[in-house]
Amino acid sequence: MFEGFTDERIDVGEVELRVRHGGSGFPVLLVHGHPRTGATWHRVAPRLVAQGFTVVCPDMRGYGRSGKAAIRDDHGQQSKRAVAGDLVRLMRALGHDRFAAVGHDRGCYVVLRMALDHPDAVSRLVVMDGVPISEALARCDAAFARDWYHWFFFAQPDKPERAIMADPDAWYSAARPESMGAENYSELRAAIHDPATVRAMLEDYRAGLGIDREHEEADRRAGRTVRCPTLFLWSSRDDMEDLYGDPLAVWAPWVDDLRGARIDSGHHQAEENPEALAAALAEFLG
């Protein structure tokens, strides 16, 4: 994976981040979701480099081989504000004061927070397969609670760690080396078998139901919006439209300049249809 990329660890203050980066041209930050690592982009990143971009693929704090911060009572160490701050400092350390930010799944909440908190840093925003946490919770019904029960289970103390660590491969059985690629799958398995990483990934969800929701609701009260051009990409074989009808309508109040498109894929677009995803990204970021 990532032939020609640099693979290193960079100190961003509270933690060190594992990051792969390569290419030349305008910088693009790719932020993974749960329970993936930066390796999820291994089929997309080289395609963007070939299109003339510099591409940066970190493991978020708490995930993969990146550092784990000390846990706080409010779970703020894993808040999207904390993670976004890490990644802005990472990009500056790599020489990129202004860049495009792309986030999938839990990563889409991070790049949304980044665009709101650091508008001078983010030139273009891409959010994939998610709506703002506060919007999802405001619309939560029995169908959401059934299909997305893990949001609420993961937020409970201790029991999720015990359940996952009893048999990590069974818990994450949907992950397959055939679709992910062998090296990407190997990184995921290392992550889900590490108790510190599992706890940090669960802290992501605990922060989501509390401090992250509070931050988003404060933004709405203050009338803050994303000022840069924004693209929402959703998977045609996932449940965005089942849950929200037109997901662009959910995003519209948050973004001044919104575009959207479906990708013919299941949830993990970067692994399942990297060609279409890379093409959509290159066209929007071009």
Q: Which residues are catalytic?
A: 105, 267
Burial classification of residue 66, based on how many CB atoms lie within 10 Å of its CB (0-12 exposed, 13-18 middle, 19 or more buried): buried
CA distances from 213 to 80, 95, 175, 222 (A): 10, 32, 28, 14
Determine which helix (DSSP H) or strand (DSSP E) holds 250, and give its type and residue range: helix 247-251
Residue owning tokens 């299909």: 147
Alpha carbons 180 and 185: distance in angstroms, whole number: 6
Q: Evaluate the omega torsion of the peptide bond into residue 195 and state whether it is cis, within 30 degrees of 0.
A: no
Pairing state between β 99-104 and 230-235: unpaired
Cβ atoms of residues 203 and 75 within 8 Å: yes
Cβ atoms of residues 264 and 236 within 8 Å: yes
Alpha carbons 262 and 277: distance in angstroms, whole number: 10
Cβ atoms of residues 41 and 19 within 8 Å: no
